[in-house]
Structure 1
Amino acid sequence: MLKVENLNVYYGSIHALKGVSLEVNEGEIVTLIGANGAGKSTLLKTLSGLLKPKDGSITYLNAPIAGKPAQSIVKAGVSHVPEGRRVFAEMSVEENIELGAFLRKDKDGIKSDHQKVYDIFPRLYERRKQSAGTLSGGEQQMLAMGRAIMAKPKLLLLDEPSMGLAPLMVKTIFEVVRDINKEGTTILLVEQNANMALSVAERAYVIETGKVILSGTVEELQKSEEIKKAYLGGH
């Protein structure tokens, strides 16, 4: 479904992604783990059209999308839940959710998906008239995910969904990640909480200083002493 080959991305003179290659197959949850500043968020921003690569290719559903405008990538079925939620603080919860369907024209589908978001996140329904800026971190994460679901993505890019959340909320968010995937959405997940990420994914890539240094099935990575030491709190 998604194929990234030899991707190089720069921030000015800083070489942020160095020849990154990876694949995500339809129906999978694939996770990208790595320390802060390793290039994980840069990769997602490049996939969703917020950054342009210097070279390399990104193929989504057999079509090249590298460097295309972000809105055309959303239209093709890729939604990005950015790090730090990025909800529209002054707007109500309901308005934020509706914005997710901005490019859609199917009124009935939008209505039923709106209801689906409330079914997945009942707390958002309770707070639907509140301005998004008054929500807790966990509720804002729910809202950012709900807004992305409204775009009806085939591929969902999730950037650090557990960041700054209480353990119970992290558990809830990851249960939702599983449910969204079961309903047919493919997910590329960037996550610092490696244990949690590996608990939901089928395959993983480890990225360090802009390079993929290791990839494999979750079972393979969980057995790796190097990964245990670096990311899983093992000795």
Structure 2
Amino acid sequence: MLKVNGIDVFYGNIQALHGVSLEINQGEIVTLIGANGAGKSTLLKAISGLLKPKQGDIVYEGTSISGRAAQAIVKEGISHVPEGRRVFANMTVEENLELGAFLRKDKDGIRQDFAKVYELFPRLLERKKQLSGTLSGGEQQMLAMGRALMARPKLLLLDEPSMGLAPLLVKTIFRIIEEINQAGTTVLLVEQNANMALSIADRAYVIETGRVVLSGTAEELNASDQIKMAYLGGH
């Protein structure tokens, strides 16, 4: 579904990604594991069109999307839930969700997706007339995910969905990611909580200082001593 071929990405003169390659098959949950500043968010931004690779190519469903505008990439079926949630604080929950569907014209489909989002996140239904800035962190995370789903993506990019959330809420968010995936959406997940990420992923890539240093099935990485030492708090 998605092939990233040897991309280099820079912030000014600083190289953030060095020849990164990965692939995602339709229907998978793939997770990116790595320390803060390793380049995981940069990779998501390159895929969603927020950053332009200097070298290499990003191919989605057989077509190169490298360097295309972010809104064109959303139209193709890729939605990005950025780190830190980024909801529109002075708009209601419902208005935020409407924005997620702004490129769509199918009124019936949009209505169905509102119902689906409220089914996945009942809390948002209770709060639909409330200003998003007044929601808790967990509720804002739900809203950011719901808003991305309103674009009806085929591929969902999730950047640190559990950041700053209470453990119980983290479990809820991960259960919902699995539900979204089972309903047919492919997921690329960036997550500091490597244990949780590997528990739901099919495959994983480990990124260190802008390079992919390891990849394999979630089981393989879970069993790797190198990964246990570095990311899973194991010995």
- Same fold, TM-score > 0.5, yes or no: yes
Tell me the TM-score normalized by structure 2: 1.00
CA distance in 1, matches of 2:162, 2:28: 20
- The within-5 A match list for 1:113-192 is 113-192=113-192
The residue aligned with 2:79 is 79
Equivalent position amino acid for 1:79 in 2:
S
Equivalent position amino acid for 1:201 in 2:
A
Q: Measure how far apart 1:223 and its partner are.
A: 1.1
SS in structure 1 at match of 2:79: strand
Q: Measure how far apart 1:176 and its partner are.
A: 0.3
The residue aligned with 1:36 is 36
Q: Measure how far apart 1:102 and its partner are.
A: 0.3
CA distance in 1, matches of 2:24, 2:231: 22
Equivalent position amino acid for 1:233 in 2:
G
Runs of 4+, deviation exceeding 6 Å: none
SS in structure 2 at match of 1:66: coil
The residue aligned with 2:232 is 232
Deviations 1:156-178 (A, max 9, x none): 00000000000000000000000
The residue aligned with 1:4 is 4
- The within-5 A match list for 1:103-118 is 103-118=103-118
Aligned-residue CA RMSD (Å): 0.4
Deviations 1:139-166 (A, max 9, x none): 0000000000000000000000000000
User: What are structure 2's unaligned runs of at least 5 residues?
Assistant: none
CA distance in 2, matches of 1:124, 1:223: 38
Q: Measure how far apart 1:188 and its partner are.
A: 0.3
What is the percentage of aligned positions where both structures have the same residue?
75
CA distance in 2, matches of 1:39, 1:63: 24
User: What are structure 1's unaligned runs of at least 5 residues?
Assistant: none
CA distance in 1, matches of 2:92, 2:233: 40
Equivalent position amino acid for 2:195 in 1:
N
Equivalent position amino acid for 1:193 in 2:
N
CA distance in 2, matches of 1:6, 1:16: 13
Number of aligned residue pairs: 235
